[in-house]
Amino acid sequence: MGHELDGQQIAFLVAPEGAEQVELTEPWEAVRKAGGSPHLVSTESGKIQAYNHLDKADTFAVDAIVSEVPSADFDALVLPGGVANPDNLRTDADAVRFISSFFTEGKPVAAICHAPWTLVEAGVLGGRTVTSYPSVRTDVTNAGGQWVDREVVVCTDGPNALITSRNPGDLPAFNNAIVREFAADKS
């Protein structure tokens, strides 16, 4: 990918159930290959259950519980999709605060598929151009975001870089954008 993340600590926030496996594993591997250190953060300890659409897939060990780890410990945030994953996260106050903190701290955030639902709940989309799975479009628009239909959108009109994509088919472009933007944000 050409950009080195040089040990950056990257949080991947997922609910105990419902993350789309490929939207977790492929960005995770892209971060790792670029020299970053990915960490699985969830609302509960133990393992999370990932899915391939509606079918159970693999489980993954949780590295940290969102209520016990500050966003200050991380350089960037990735929000995988899946329908149930962001729907569960947006009802967890600690998860919403964790996401909001990355915007307050000016750190890059990446969200794919249904994950912008959590950004809606965090109140961080006003004036931002984003994409998502089409069913999230109205929520994004109602939250003050400008929705576009593109494989990847990098919005820098705000306190931080915000990278969004529509679905698993966009993962190559999404992964390239997150590595590029996370590397550009190194201090």
What positions carry a catalytic annotation? Answer: 113-114
Amino acid letter for position 32 = R
Q: Residues 166, 133: contact at Cβ < 8 Å?
A: yes
Q: Residues 133, 114: contact at Cβ < 8 Å?
A: yes
Q: Give how far Cα 124 sits from Cα of 40, 63, 97, 120, 163, Å.
A: 22, 26, 11, 7, 13
Residue 67: CB partners within 8 Å, gap ≥ 6? 43, 94
Burial letters for 93-118: b for 16+ Cβ neighbours within 10 Å, e otherwise?
Answer: eebbebbbbbbeeebbbbbbbbbbbb
Assign 85 to helix, strand or coil: helix
Report residue 22 as tokens: 């490929």
